[in-house]
Amino acid sequence: MNQSETLFQEAVTVMPGGVNSPVRAFGSVGTTPRFIKSAKGACLYDEDGNQYMDYIGSWGPMILGHANEAVIDSVTEACRRGLSFGAATAIEVEMAKLVCQLIPSIEMVRMVNSGTEAVMSAIRLARGYTGRNKIIKFTGCYHGHSDSLLVKAGSGVMTSGVPDSLGVPAGCTQDTLSADYNNLDTVTEHFKRCGEEIAAVIVEPVAANMGVVPPKPGFLEGLKDICREYGSLLIFDEVITGFRLGIDGAQGYFGVTPDLTTFGKIIGGGMPVGAYGGKREIMELVSPVGGVYQAGTLSGNPVAMAAGITQLTILKEHPEYYTELNQRADQFYRSMQEIFEKAGHSWQVNHVGSLGCLYFTEQEVTDYESAKTSDTEAFARYCNYMMEHGVYLAPSQFEAMFLSLAHTEELLNDTLKIMEQYVR
Ligand code: HOZ
């Protein structure tokens, strides 16, 4: 038995499923996790000394690659000054200024500790601001694990095949309405029925928790229009797209401005961070200025801020990095599609910038229903083959592939060769 297997045997006795987050248990591909010891650039190293080309990048934040020297140096320096004060600091002002500068729709921001927390708080704020209770979310979009959003969710909820979570009282989800991604009619129906009661529409501008589903032209714009018509807020959950598709996130990429935006791990450069922000008029309702309560001892933590600021500053100072990353990604995903087509498979490769996903279906994937047509057993076989050949993929059909600046053309070509071998 290797180290990972031994560790997993121990882990399952003391942690539910042997993990601290469900998808990483590898259950949906019928294997067990590799226990990761370290990472550098585009690679992960497990406890058995195996090296993997990593296509998860900690689920998004590692845009510069793992253990970037500048990020590590700034974190190390911050640690020496103290780990947490639970008090106001200069570095959190610096972070807030940076975010407001980078994202034009954000005039004020509140740092929190995860995407889940950011979204949960943004929903509360939208309800407080509008004085309404209902929210619309899209089937297959995942917005973290807070009660009111665990309705027809993506990510691990979709992977496990459980539509909704146990332990969520019906009262918590009675105001959550579901609509179909890329289908404005299903949104309009809700608004026609109870538009005056809808506080907000929350959407992943690129759905990246049911694989990767790009928004159809006009979809995001349509959401904005209908929200404006009914006085509801449009919330972009940019936990996965923020600072990844470009320095101004999906809203810059698609040119659609939301009222509120939520961020997650990416804003912390790999440290546990989240944030929500938007128009001043709305944000000034957050406590202690306004009556929407939200708090956290570790919010704006100085070590986490140091990591985030360093990565964001590097990206801000090098706009060419995004051009490079997105071009390399376009080429990579196109080559993937070609490899499968040449081998006679009409599998779908969806991608937006560096986010991508391979679906084992002949159907175009535009929403939850079409994503579900993917053959998950075929995905499991493919995923296990890739892992055995040193390519670390998200162990679920319904997660994204993430490329980083450390994924050189050479490394990407090596990965493509392994895909070629697989289809052969
Ligand atoms: N929420 C992540 C997938 N979208 C999974 C995080 C993890 O398991 O580490």
Residue 127 · residue 285 · CB < 8 Å: no
Ligand 1: nearest atom to the Cα of 24: 8
Identify the helix (H) or strand (E) that includes residue 401.
strand 401-402
Measured by CA distance, the residue closest to atom 8 of ligand 1 is: 21
Q: Please give the number of the atom of ligand 1 that sits closest to the Cα of 142.
A: 4
Q: Which of 137, 152, 265, 372 is catalytic?
A: 265
Does the annotation mark 367 as catalytic? no
Q: What is the C-alpha to C-alpha distance for residues 409 and 328, in angstroms, rounded to an integer?
A: 7
pLDDT of residue 162: 60
| pLDDT tens digits, 74-116 | 999 999 999 999 999 999 999 999 999 999 999 999 999 999 9
Q: Where in the chain is the domain with CATH 3.90.1150.10?
A: 3-55+319-423
Residues of the chain with CATH 3.40.640.10: 69-317
Residue pLDDT, tens place only, 280-298: 999 999 999 999 999 999 9
Q: Which amino acids bring their CB within 6 angstroms of ligand 1?
A: 21, 23-24, 59, 155, 209, 399
The CATH architecture one would assign to domain 3-55+319-423 is Alpha-Beta Complex (3.90)
**DSSP structure class, residue 40:** E
The pLDDT tens digits of the residues spanning 368-405 come to 999 999 999 999 999 999 999 999 999 999 999 999 99
Q: Are 263 and 237 in contact (CB under 8 A)?
A: no
321 in active site: no
The CATH T-level fold of domain 69-317 is: Aspartate Aminotransferase; domain 2 (3.40.640)
CA dist 282 and 227 (Å) reads 15
Q: Write b or e for each residue in 260-278: b if 16 or more Cβ atoms lie within 10 A of its Cβ, otherwise e.
A: bbbbbbbbbbbbbbbbbbb
For residue 351, what are the CA distances in angstroms to 43, 232, 399, 402, 408? 22, 30, 12, 10, 18
Which parts of the chain sit beneath pLDDT 50?
none
Q: Find residue 357's DSSP bridge partners.
A: 350
Q: How far apart are CA 134 and CA 123, in angstroms?
A: 10
- By the 8 A CB rule, do 265 and 93 touch? no
Catalytic residue, chosen from 129, 142, 276, 368, is 142
Query: Is 237 one of the annotated active-site residues of the chain?
Result: yes
Choose the residue to mutate in 23, 29, 209 for probing ligand 1, maximizing ligand atoms within 8 Å of C-beta.
23
pLDDT value for 377: 96
Has this prediction a pTM greater than 0.85?
Answer: yes
Q: What is the pLDDT of residue 164?
A: 75
